[in-house]
Amino acid sequence: MNINSFPMRAGNAARAFINNNRAVTIAERVEALNATDVAEAARILAKMPEERAVRILDRPELRNAPAILEVMGNADAARLLHGMSNDRVADVLLEMDVDTRARLFATFDEHARQAIQSLMGYPPRTAGGIMTTEFVSVFASWTVAQTLDHVRQVERSRETVYAIYVLDDETHVLLHVVTLRRLITGEPDACILTVAQKGVPVTAPPLMKQEDVARLIRRHDLLALPVVDDKGHMLGIVTVDDVIDTMIADTTEDAQKFGGMEALGQPYMKISFAGMIRKRAGWLAALFLGEMLTASAMQHFEGELEKAVVLTLFIPLIMSSGGNSGSQATSLIIRALALGELKLSDWWRVAFRELPTGIVLGAILGLVGFARIVLWQNIGLFDYGPHWQLVALTVFAALIGIVTFGSLAGSMLPFVLQKLRLDPASASAPFVATLVDVTGLVIYFSVALLILSGTML
């Protein structure tokens, strides 16, 4: 399909692309392309200088890169793909249909095909899945001057030159890492090993989870982390910007799950109406069914409600307090698990910590509720009846029990889901709130029966 056959409907930002406006940054160009339909974006990129187009396509923020390249003719698509980094090419090809992928993949030389195929074979969200094979490596016998000359020759085709990896001359095993700063301060005739970092390099296996990769990079303050096989041969590097991109995507997905829905997997304005309904309806239906248990609990205590209608005034207060405490605990534990601050075996420590925390928080809310009833009764804003003191005590005691249960349930649910090999983010705030709503009503009316029995009940 010839891209020049499409009508041109680009706006001001798109025309700036075609006119090579240097005032427009790469980030702004990517943003403008994201707001342009695929046909127009393909036409713009095809007319753009190749180096600039490649830089745009190399940005993960460009949402429709596979579709844009599919719309282009084979020659234009292959030309731009050949200029992109191997890891980005692998990501783009994986999103294309099988026929287009095979056709474009065949245009690469044997060395590039092997590198791209290797990257496509690693599971997503692992070191191998997000690494790039384009790094700077030299042999241990090289001098500083030789290394600098090599960096000058290859820097345009490498992801980063801030770290140079020193390999054994015979086995090609990774020995040391040299930073660019140390390299340029070294004596030209000195061996590269004289400016190498001391100690064993920090590395990652290809199947390490991206969360663990991020922790390693943060702990050791790295710009790039080498990925090695079980024999110590370098497979690639994970750069800090790759980690940031993947972690932002994961954070977005988790935030959507916290809201009680499936992760969209697409920008909000790009997802179709039917897709939006499909992503949200399932969770809403599940939560609605869960809330129906709340109605069942209230029906069970129908007699008590008829005798003490005043108790219904505090049902929203009771339910929201338990749900809020559970949501707080869930959010804290999921984040701690994601950052590696907690392990599955730490569940009992969390339980012993949340138990007194829930009691104290419940007592604080209970005192507020107790004071509110006393104040309203005494200044004449509302009459809670002749047994208003017992009603206040019921609210106080129920809040302690409900908030404590909410904190315990909210903190334990992520551990249960992780034990079942499910995503702890699924323990979203609405899910916890629904669980605590039902049990909260049972606790509330059980406390009311205990305290008000023989008086109002």
Q: What is the DSSP string of 108-123?
A: S-HHHHHHHHHHHHSP
Helix%, strand%, coil% for the chain, nearest 5: 65, 5, 25
For residue 50, give both structure tokens: 């190749």
Residue 36 φ then ψ, to 5°: -105, 145
For residue 392, give both structure tokens: 């206040």
Is residue 143 helix, strand or coil? strand
For residue 321, give both structure tokens: 């307090």
Is residue 254 helix, strand or coil? helix
pLDDT at 294: 67
pLDDT at 397: 95
Is residue 120 helix, strand or coil? helix
Report yes or no: 191 and 166 within 8 Å, Cβ to Cβ.
no
pLDDT at 9: 42
For residue 137, give both structure tokens: 């490596």
In the chain the first and final C-alpha atoms are separated, in Å, by 79
What string of pLDDT tens digits covers the 457 residues of the chain? Answer: 444 443 444 455 555 554 455 556 787 888 888 888 888 888 888 888 888 888 899 888 888 899 999 888 888 899 999 888 888 899 899 888 888 888 898 889 888 888 888 888 898 889 998 898 889 999 999 999 999 999 999 887 777 888 999 999 999 999 999 999 999 999 999 999 999 998 899 999 999 988 889 889 888 888 899 999 999 999 999 988 878 777 666 665 555 555 555 555 555 566 667 776 776 666 667 667 766 766 676 676 676 667 778 888 888 888 888 888 888 888 888 878 877 788 889 999 999 999 999 999 999 999 999 999 999 999 988 888 888 999 999 999 999 999 999 999 989 988 988 888 776 765 555 677 777 888 888 899 889 989 988 787 6
pLDDT at 385: 84
CA dihedral 187→188→192→193, nearest 10 degrees, is -30
| C-alpha–C-alpha distance, residues 154 and 151, integer Å | 5
Q: What residues pair up with 191 in beta bridges, in sequence order?
A: 143
Q: Which of 281, 253, 246 is nearest to 267 (CA)?
A: 253
Q: Which of 309, 314, 304 is nearest to 399 (CA)?
A: 314
Residue 177 φ then ψ, to 5°: -120, 140
Report yes or no: 159 and 135 within 8 Å, Cβ to Cβ.
yes
| C-alpha–C-alpha distance, residues 162 and 59, integer Å | 20
Element (H, E) at 393: helix 388-419
| C-alpha–C-alpha distance, residues 355 and 223, integer Å | 42
C-alpha dist (Å) from residue 271 to 276, 281, 317:
6, 15, 37
| C-alpha–C-alpha distance, residues 299 and 303, integer Å | 8
pLDDT at 304: 67
Q: What angle do CA 140, 146, 152 make, to 5 degrees?
A: 120
| C-alpha–C-alpha distance, residues 111 and 49, integer Å | 26
pLDDT at 273: 72
For residue 158, give both structure tokens: 């490498």
CA 242 to chain centre: 13
Task: For the chain, state the CA radius of gyration.
Answer: 30
In this prediction the pTM is: 0.60
Which residues have a Cβ under 8 Å from the Cβ of 205 and sit 6 or more positions away? 127, 227, 228, 229, 230
Q: How many CB atoms lie within 10 A of CB 419?
A: 11
Signed CA dihedral, 335, 339, 344, 350: sign only: negative
Q: Which of 206, 209, 268, 261 is nearest to 233 (CA)?
A: 206
CA dihedral 173→174→180→183, nearest 10 degrees, is -60
| C-alpha–C-alpha distance, residues 201 and 135, integer Å | 15
pLDDT at 10: 44
C-alpha dist (Å) from residue 338 to 211, 242, 423:
7, 18, 10
What residue type is 283 in one-letter code?
W
